[in-house]
Structure 1
Amino acid sequence: MDSELVVLASSAATTVVGLLATDAWEQTKVAVTALWQRARPEQAEAIEGELLATRTELLAAREAGDGGAEEELTVEWRTRLRRLLAADPALERELRGLLAELPPVAPSTDRGNRVEMQGRASEHARIYMSGGDMHITGP
């Protein structure tokens, strides 16, 4: 599998799981279920159920202060999304569109110092990324 698709699946999983614990959970459920409906209609109902189960487990884990549960749930969704993209790499555009439609995930305080970034440059573009302060000097 292309490393870019792996990064996309990872980013999407982080976003989906993070949003399931917010007011945007319904929008997230509808968007992800619709993606599955287009890609694998026979699995769409089961995926909707998995999203609801993930939300329930995530909320309970956050209530209990179990930060590891969110990471485990994210890994599960990363695997699902990687399999979906591996079976049909053309879904990359749809998954990117889905992520563009969803609100950004606010950083979670129980993830420690983990920073996840993604950047893409072409031609002569430059990308500067930082998980903290950044000071650039020179031309």
Structure 2
Amino acid sequence: MEAELAALAASGATTLVGLMVSETWTQARHRLARFFSRGRDDDAVDEELRLSQEELLAARASEDDLAAADIEAGWRLRLRRALRANPEAAEELRLLLAQLEVEAGGKPTVTVQNRISGGVQNGPVLQGQNFYGQTFHSTGAPLPEQGTGSV
């Protein structure tokens, strides 16, 4: 059950961060605040979500991928704790995420940016989504004219 809740928390955090940069964020934020507050102080959670959105937008504007990832990780942890404390909330979260996705037009709400760095890549590099049946044959050894990428 713990793995299922962790997967739901990860999915929820990804959706939450994706919604932060969507046109439906304001409405989603209020609904997510109600979920997180569990009947207590909706306004405080709403403010946390608002501030997270500001931080995320600033991180993306400055291309600070680490800061953006930290924001998502923080909400993933918070969701895991909320679900661990109240496992019955899992179904409520699933329904909320499904509703928010429909309201967002059923379109993906996450922007993925892939970067390759750290030297010479001596094999295939794929960037995208849903790769099936790929086979690559490689010795793994660098090509003589490329070297190892070290200085």
State how 1:1-139 maps to structure 2 within 5 Å: 2-37=2-37, 39=38, 41-103=39-101, 104-112=107-115, 131-135=129-133
Q: Summarize the Cα distance change of 1:33–1:111 in structure 2 as closer, same or farther, 3 Å threshold.
A: farther
What TM-score, normalized to structure 1?
A: 0.74
- The size of the alignment, in residue pairs, is 118
3-state SS in 2 of match to 1:102: helix
Cα deviations across residues 83-126 of structure 1 (Å, max 9, x unaligned)? Answer: 1111110001100001101124344242558xxxxxxxxxxxxx
Contact 1:33 1:48 in 2 (8 A): yes
**Separation in structure 2 between the aligned mates of residue 107 and residue 93 of structure 1, nearest angstrom:** 22
CA RMSD of aligned residues (A): 2.3
The 1:107/1:87 distance shift into structure 2, 3 A limit, reads closer
Change (3 A) 1:93 1:51: same
- Bigger radius of gyration, 1 or 2? 2
Distance 1:112 1:18, change over 3 A: farther
Instruction: Provide, for residues 57-77 of structure 1, a one-character-per-residue CA deviation record: whole Å limited to 9, x for no partner.
Output: 011111111111111001100
Extract unaligned runs of 5+ from structure 2.
102-106, 117-127, 134-151
Q: Distance in 1 between matches of 2:3 and 2:14?
A: 17
Structure 1 stretches of at least 4 aligned residues deviating more than 6 Å after TM superposition: none
Q: 1:44 to 1:107 in 2, by over 3 A?
A: closer
| SS in structure 2 at match of 1:42 | coil
Q: Shift of residue 132 of structure 1?
A: 3.3
Give the TM-score normalised by the residue count of structure 2. 0.69
Between the aligned partners of 1:25 and 1:73, the Cα distance in structure 2 is: 16
Equivalent residue letter for 1:70: A
Give aligned-pair identity as a percent: 35
Deviations 1:29-81 (A, max 9, x none): 022012134x2x22422210110000100111111111111110011001111
